[in-house]
Amino acid sequence: MIRIENVTKQYRGSARPALNRVSLEIDKGEFVFLVGASGSGKSSLISLMLREEVPTKGRVHVLGEDLVRIPSRRVPYFRRKLGVVFQDFRLLPNKTVTQNIAFSLEVIGRSRGLIEAAVPDVLRLVGLEGKGDRYPNELSGGERQRVALARAIVNKPAILLADEPTGNLDGATSDGIMALIERINLAGTTVVMATHDKSIVDRLKKRVIELSGGEIIRDERGGAYRAEKPMTSSEGAGA
């Protein structure tokens, strides 16, 4: 489903590579946490999977597409098979909840009929029934992230990429969001989530990939936020 081989990403003007010879493979239906200090390369990895960035060296395959070679006009069609959420929600403030979700379908040319059927469905799924006419600034942080999740999954993506989706939320609200993401995962969507939230990672006991200085230092199934045995001392503290 996602295969990354020997990937090095060097940004222009920085001495140290953001990712250094990283290889990993994620199968269909998996739930993977990416953990590590700020600047360890989690976000770069997600950018590569989204094909926002191209690796300096190495290969990236996602959903059968070679993301190094894919022609740029096919990139949008590739992205339609992914859902993405971010720490800052990225909602449009001048559109209602319903319009925000409908917007993502309108811009990929979906029919009005499909949109009118799909949006209420997904609102029910994320627990925002009856709040479709609210504007983002009338919602709590948790509710906003639910809107963002609804937008990410309304097109039934094969993979959900989440870059610190609970980073702006308090504990109880985070748990609600995580329950929702787990449900999305159980329905068959592969989830890759970058996070600093120790308690979530420890509680869910999913696969954990830990990055440090652009390299994978741990890849453990059913792992915790920190390794059982202490690793090298250079490993930074997260949250």
Partner 1 sequence: MRLGFIFGEISQGLKRNVSMVISVILVTFVSLTFVGTAGLLQLQIGQMKGYWYDRAQIAVYLCTSIDPASSCPQGAAGADIKDAVKAKLKSHTLKAYVASYEFENHKQAYQHFQEQFKGNSVAKYVTAEQLPETYWVKLKNPNDSRIIIESLSGQSGVFEVRDQRSYLDQIFAILNAASLAAIGIALLMLFSAALLISTTIRLSAFSRRRELGIMRLVGASNFYIQLPFILEGVVAATIGSVLAGIAVIAVVQFFVQGYLATTISYMSFIGLSDAFVIAPAIVLVGIVLAAVASGSAINRYLKI
The DSSP-derived string for 16-54 is S-SEEEEEEEE-TT-EEEEE-STTSSHHHHHHHHHTSS-
Here's the x/- map for partner 1, 89-128, by CB under 8 A: it reads as: -x-x----------xx-xxxx-xx----------------
Question: CA-CA distance, 182 to 188, in Å (whole number)?
Answer: 10
> Interacting stretch for partner 1, rule CB under 8 A, among 35-43, 74-82, 122-130, 178-186?
74-82
Least gap, CB of 163 to partner 1 (angstroms): 11
Q: Tell me, by CB under 8 A, how many residues bind partner 1.
A: 24
Least gap, CB of 115 to partner 1 (angstroms): 9
Q: Does 79 bind partner 1 (CB under 8 A)?
A: yes
For residue 227 the two structure tokens come to 């390794």
171: part of which helix (H) or strand (E)?
Answer: helix 171-186
Question: CA-CA distance, 206 to 5, in Å (whole number)?
Answer: 22
Task: Give the start-end residues of each E strand in 79-222.
Answer: 82-86, 159-163, 190-194, 207-212, 215-220
Least gap, CB of 110 to partner 1 (angstroms): 8
Strands 31-35 and 207-212: parallel
Question: CA-CA distance, 142 to 178, in Å (whole number)?
Answer: 11
Which of positions 149-188 make contact with partner 1 (CB under 8 A)? 151, 155
Q: Does 135 bind partner 1 (CB under 8 A)?
A: no
**From candidates 80, 156, 205, 221, binder to partner 1 by CB under 8 A:** 80
Least gap, CB of 86 to partner 1 (angstroms): 9
Closer to partner 1 at the Cβ: 76 or 171? 76
> Which chain residues interact with partner 1 by CB under 8 A?
50, 72-73, 75-82, 84, 90, 92, 103-104, 106-109, 111-112, 151, 155
